[in-house]
Amino acid sequence: MREDDPGSFESGLLVFVFIVFIVHSVYFLDFLDFFDLVCSSGRKFQCEQRRSGSSSSSRFNGSQ
Rg (CA), the chain: 26
pLDDT band, very low/low/confident/very high, at 62 (cuts 50, 70, 90): low
| The model scores a pTM over 0.75 | no
Spatial contact of 20 and 13, defined as CB atoms under 8 Å apart: no
Check if the beta carbon of residue 46 is closer than 8 Å to that of residue 54.
Answer: no
Distance CA 64, CA 58 (A): 10
- What pLDDT, on the 0 to 100 scale, is given for residue 8? 80
First to last CA, the chain: 75
pLDDT recorded at residue 15: 92
pLDDT at 6: 61
18-60 pLDDT tens trace: 999 888 877 777 777 877 888 788 777 776 777 776 555 555 5
